[in-house]
C-alpha cells in the first residue's frame, strides 16, 4: 500500500491509497480528512518532487462549484488549537563528543570518515566540561527540561567520562530543579563487561547503529582494521536488551546506502531484537536518485508489513513514522527541522561549540568555546528554518520544518538552499504516514 496520484489545492493536498479512498491533509492546520471524489477531481495533480502551489482548477458544473467551495472553505479555515512551533533562543539540548576516535570505519561516516572529524581526540576533558554544563544549566528556569546526548567517535571507548558528566548533571539539575534526560548513540560493540555495568548504572536512552545482518553490516560498518563488527554489535544489543529495565529506552538505527539499500531486509533482521524503536535513514551525502527510489519503496514495504502485523503500534515502532504521528496527534506545527543554534548546540571533544554535529572541526562554524557563546554568529540562526530555507509554499513545511541544513549544504553548497532529494523523500515519508494516520484514527 502506498500513496498514489498526489493532488493539491492551495494548503490542501490529497492522494489515493490502494483502496481507492482519498486522503487529504491541510498543511497549515495539520488536519487529516476524507474528501469526496468530486473534491479530489477539483484538485491539480502535482509531483512529490515539488512544494510549489499549482494553478487552481476551474469549475465547469454546479457540482464542481460546490466541491471547489468546500475545498476553499477548508483552505481558509484557521484552526485555533494548532500549536505554533516558533523557537526562541535558549539552549535546552546539547550533544557532546565524548571523544573523536572510533573503533569502526563506516562507509558513510559524516565525522571525517573515521569518527575523528579530522582531529583525532581522546577523552574530552571532564574538568573543562563540567563548568560548561553548569553554565548551560544556570540559564534554565526550574522545571525546564535539559537533554544531553553522548556521541563520538565511539563514546563507549570512554565510559568513565560519560558517567562523570551524567552524575554531575543529575546532581546539579536536582539542585536547580531542572529535568534532565540523557541519550547515547553507539555502535554497540563495547556493550559488555565493565562498560555494560557503567551504562546500566545510568538511565540512558540508547541508540545502537546497525545496518542489517552480517552480509550488509560488515560492508557498511567494518572495524577500523577492516574486520567484521556485526557479531560484536549483535552481542551488545542482546546484552543491553537483557538489562532493559536499567535503561530508559533502546533503539536501533540503520542507514540506507549503496552498500546496503535493502532496508526492508534490515527491518526484518532488526525487529527480532524487539527494541523500543527502529529508524532507517538515508545516507546524508548520497546523491543517487535511483537509491532514493529504492529507499522510498522499501520504507513503504516496511510500513505495510509493520501495519499488517502490529497495526499502529508496529508502524510507530519506526521512528520516522512515529515522529509525524506525534505531530499530527498533538497538533504541533514545527517551524524548524531541528533546534540548531536556537535551542540546541553541539560540543566537540575540545569543548568548542557548534550548531550541528556535522560541522564539527570547521573553524568558521564555531559559535562558542567553554562558557563563552558568540551571539553575533548565533543570531544568524534566529529566524525559522522554514523562512531561512524558503519553504513557505511547501505543503510538508509544518511537519518537516525546513529540512536539515547540513544535508542541504552537502548537496547544494549552501545551508539554506534545499536538497531536492531530501525534500522528495521527506514528503514521501510524510505521505505514507498520513495514509496510515487516517487508517489508525478512523479505526479507533
Where does this chain bind another protein (CB under 8 A)? 24, 31-36, 38-39, 62, 66-67, 70-71, 74, 85, 87, 92-93, 95, 147, 149, 151, 181, 183, 185, 205-207, 248-249, 251, 253, 276-277, 279, 319, 322-323, 325-332, 334-340, 343-344, 346, 356-358, 401, 404, 437-438, 441-442, 444
Neighbours of 317 (CB within 10 A): 22
Closest distance to another protein from the beta carbon of 153 (Å): 11
Closest distance to another protein from the beta carbon of 404 (Å): 8
Q: Are strands 44-45 and 368-369 parallel, antiparallel or unpaired?
A: unpaired
421 Cβ contact list (under 8 Å, min separation 6): 282, 287, 289, 292, 411
Q: Are strands 372-373 and 368-369 parallel, antiparallel or unpaired?
A: antiparallel
Closest distance to another protein from the beta carbon of 371 (Å): 21
CB-wise, 83 or 289, nearer to another protein?
83
CB-wise, 181 or 246, nearer to another protein?
181
CB-wise, 36 or 228, nearer to another protein?
36
Please say whether the beta carbons of 14 and 46 come within 8 A.
no
CA pair distance 35, 26, nearest whole angstrom: 11
CB-wise, 326 or 380, nearer to another protein?
326
Closest distance to another protein from the beta carbon of 31 (Å): 5
CB-wise, 221 or 337, nearer to another protein?
337
CA pair distance 254, 216, nearest whole angstrom: 11
Closest distance to another protein from the beta carbon of 38 (Å): 7
Closest distance to another protein from the beta carbon of 222 (Å): 21
171 Cβ contact list (under 8 Å, min separation 6): none
CB-wise, 30 or 263, nearer to another protein?
30
CB-wise, 45 or 90, nearer to another protein?
90
Which three-class secondary structure state does DSSP give residue 277? strand
CB-wise, 37 or 242, nearer to another protein?
37
CB-wise, 322 or 371, nearer to another protein?
322
Cell numbers placing 443: 479505526
Closest distance to another protein from the beta carbon of 101 (Å): 16
Whole-number CA gyration radius for the chain: 23
CA pair distance 338, 107, nearest whole angstrom: 25
Vertex 329: Cα angle to 283 and 150 (nearest 5): 40
CA pair distance 304, 405, nearest whole angstrom: 30
CB-wise, 49 or 382, nearer to another protein?
382
Closest distance to another protein from the beta carbon of 215 (Å): 26
CA pair distance 115, 443, nearest whole angstrom: 46
Closest distance to another protein from the beta carbon of 12 (Å): 9
| Closest-CA residue to 106 (of 182, 184, 193, 189) | 189
Torsion of CA 252, 257, 259, 262, to 10 degrees: 70
Please say whether the beta carbons of 87 and 343 come within 8 A.
yes
Closest distance to another protein from the beta carbon of 383 (Å): 14
Vertex 314: Cα angle to 313 and 320 (nearest 5): 95
CA pair distance 367, 74, nearest whole angstrom: 44
Amino acid at each position: 500500500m502506498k500513496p498514489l496520484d498526489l493532488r493539491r489545492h492551495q494548503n490542501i493536498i490529497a492522494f489515493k491509497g490502494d483502496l481507492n479512498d482519498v486522503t487529504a491533509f491541510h498543511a497549515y492546520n495539520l488536519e487529516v480528512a476524507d474528501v469526496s471524489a468530486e473534491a479530489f477531481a477539483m484538485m491539480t495533480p502535482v509531483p512529490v518532487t515539488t512544494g510549489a502551489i499549482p494553478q487552481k482548477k476551474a469549475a465547469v458544473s454546479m457540482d464542481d462549484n460546490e466541491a471547489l467551495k468546500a475545498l476553499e472553505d477548508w483552505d481558509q479555515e484557521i484552526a485555533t488549537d494548532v500549536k505554533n512551533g516558533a523557537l526562541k533562543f535558549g539552549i535546552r539540548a546539547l550533544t557532546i563528543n565524548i571523544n573523536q576516535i572510533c573503533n569502526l570505519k563506516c562507509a558513510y561516516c559524516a565525522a571525517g570518515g573515521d569518527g575523528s572529524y579530522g582531529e583525532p581526540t581522546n577523552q574530552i576533558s571532564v574538568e573543562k566540561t563540567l563548568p560548561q554544563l553548569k553554565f548551560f544549566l544556570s540559564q534554565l528556569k526550574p522545571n525546564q527540561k535539559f537533554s544531553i546526548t553522548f556521541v563520538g567517535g565511539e563514546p563507549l571507548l570512554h565510559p568513565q567520562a560519560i558517567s562523570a558528566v551524567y552524575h554531575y548533571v543529575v546532581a546539579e539539575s536536582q539542585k536547580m530543579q531542572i529535568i534532565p534526560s540523557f541519550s547515547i548513540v553507539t555502535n554497540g560493540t563495547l556493550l559488555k563487561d565493565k562498560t555494560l555495568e557503567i551504562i546500566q548504572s545510568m538511565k540512558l536512552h540508547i541508540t545502537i547503529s546497525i545496518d542489517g545482518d552480517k552480509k550488509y553490516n560488515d560492508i557498511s560498518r567494518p572495524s577500523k582494521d577492516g574486520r567484521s563488527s556485526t557479531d560484536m554489535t549483535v552481542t551488545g544489543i542482546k546484552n543491553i536488551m537483557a538489562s532493559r529495565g536499567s535503561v530508559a529506552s533502546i533503539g536501533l538505527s540503520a542507514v540506507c546506502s549503496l552498500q546496503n539499500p535493502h532496508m526492508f531486509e534490515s527491518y526484518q533482521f532488526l525487529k527480532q531484537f524487539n527494541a523500543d524503536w527502529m529508524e532507517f535513514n538515508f545516507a546524508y551525502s548520497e546523491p543517487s536518485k535511483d537509491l532514493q527510489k529504492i529507499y522510498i519503496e522499501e520504507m513503504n514495504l516496511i510500513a505495510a508489513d509493520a501495519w499488517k502485523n502490529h497495526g499502529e503500534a508496529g508502524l510507530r515502532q519506526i521512528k520516522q513514522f512515529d515522529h509525524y504521528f506525534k505531530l499530527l496527534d498533538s497538533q504541533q506545527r514545527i517551524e524548524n527541522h531541528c533546534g540548531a543554534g536556537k535551542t540546541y548546540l553541539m560540543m566537540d571533544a575540545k569543548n568548542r561549540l557548534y550548531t550541528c554535529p556535522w560541522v564539527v572541526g570547521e573553524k568558521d562554524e564555531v559559535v562558542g568555546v567553554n562558557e563563552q557563546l558568540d551571539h553575533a554568529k548565533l543570531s544568524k540562526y534566529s529566524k525559522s528554518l522554514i523562512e531561512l530555507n524558503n519553504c513557505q509554499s511547501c505543503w510538508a513545511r509544518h511537519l518537516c520544518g525546513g529540512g536539515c541544513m547540513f544535508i542541504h549544504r552537502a548537496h547544494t553548497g549552501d545551508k539554506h538552499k534545499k536538497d531536492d532529494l531530501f525534500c522528495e523523500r521527506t514528503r514521501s515519508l510524510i505521505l505514507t504516514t498520513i495514509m496510515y494516520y487516517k487508517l489508525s484514527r478512523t479505526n479507533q
